[in-house]
Amino acid sequence: MGTWRQVEIGGKRADLFEPTRPSPHRFTILFLHGHGEISLRDNPVYSTELDRHGLSCLCPAGRRSWWGDRVCTEFDPRQTPRSFLLQQVLPWLRENCQVAPPAIGLLGVSMGGQGALKLAYQSPQEFPVVAALAPAIDFHRWYGQGYPLDDLYESAEEARQDTATVLIHPLNWPRHQLLLCDPTDAEWFEGAECLASKLSSSGIPFERDFDTRAGGHSWDYFNRQGPSVIQFLAERLEKERLRIPTPPTPVFRQVSPGIDPGLATGSSTGTESE
């Protein structure tokens, strides 16, 4: 079995899992925890599956910040969670684990599930592989209940405008998405269904499991889905590694009358002396 150890990134705690036999390509999972701040370190199911697939895993502590691009004083008085992940966590992984996007898969539960989706939707080329367990998509419903969420937005509507469903880009999205939610999850199932509906209507490919029942919004459910989630991440990271990059789209410029089209596109049909 691999081992967990605690590390410090930018003055903040994180748990790092190192497998017995790491993937030759250093594939790593970046896990974003939920509102209860529970790390994968506390769940043997995930340790077993991570080790079996040779995946490293980093679980930074984000407090109850919702992993967005707004300052949450409980997390940090100046830096947003998103900037922390991009500007501190990714460089730390590059230096200490010799891994960088797109070899990093995103995984999150509940609050962290929606955070992982938003990060992938905002940076799909860097994070083409993402899995979200019971993602708290419609977190604006919690606005006004006295949580740190109230300090991040001026209103519930402003919070809704920052949800993953609104941030989907119809032409630029992560190539590998997995959505899972227990149908008895009264709090978050409807939001997951709405997100899936928008992905489908937009023609965006994704996979989902909205049928498995294992205790609703709980770690019983998260652990039940652990093996399939980690297998998805491992397989899709490898598939992404083998993907042939899409060539850049040619840029055509308007040609003025009397100008050779070859010169307008930057190419030349003559000799250098010409």
- pLDDT value at residue 270: 39
In tens, the pLDDT along 82-102 reads: 999 999 999 999 999 999 999
pLDDT above 80 for 27: yes
Give the span between the Cα atoms of 62 and 108, in whole angstroms.
12
Contact criterion met (CB below 8 Å) for 127 and 237: no
Which whole number is the average pLDDT over 211-216? 97
Least confidently predicted of 24-33, 171-180, 205-214, 246-255: 246-255
pLDDT above 80 for 255: no
The closest alpha carbon to 143, from 155, 131, 134, belongs to: 155
Contact criterion met (CB below 8 Å) for 51 and 1: yes
Give the span between the Cα atoms of 131 and 199, in whole angstroms.
14
pLDDT above 60 for 224: yes
Give the span between the Cα atoms of 90 and 150, in whole angstroms.
28
Contacts of residue 203, Cβ cutoff 8 Å, sequence gap at least 6 = 170
Q: Which helix (H) or strand (E) holds 18?
A: strand 12-18
Give percent of the chain above pLDDT 90.
88
Listed in order, strand segments (DSSP E) in 20-71 are: 28-32, 56-60
Domains in the chain, please, with CATH?
3-264 (3.40.50.1820)
Maximum Cα interatomic distance, the chain, rounded to a whole number of Å: 76
pTM: 0.89
264/64: higher pLDDT: 64
Give percent of the chain above pLDDT 70.
89
Residue 269's pLDDT band, with cuts at 50, 70 and 90, is very low
Residue 46's pLDDT band, with cuts at 50, 70 and 90, is very high
Give the span between the Cα atoms of 65 and 69, in whole angstroms.
9
The closest alpha carbon to 141, from 156, 163, 153, belongs to: 156
How big is the chain by its Cα radius of gyration, in Å? Answer: 21
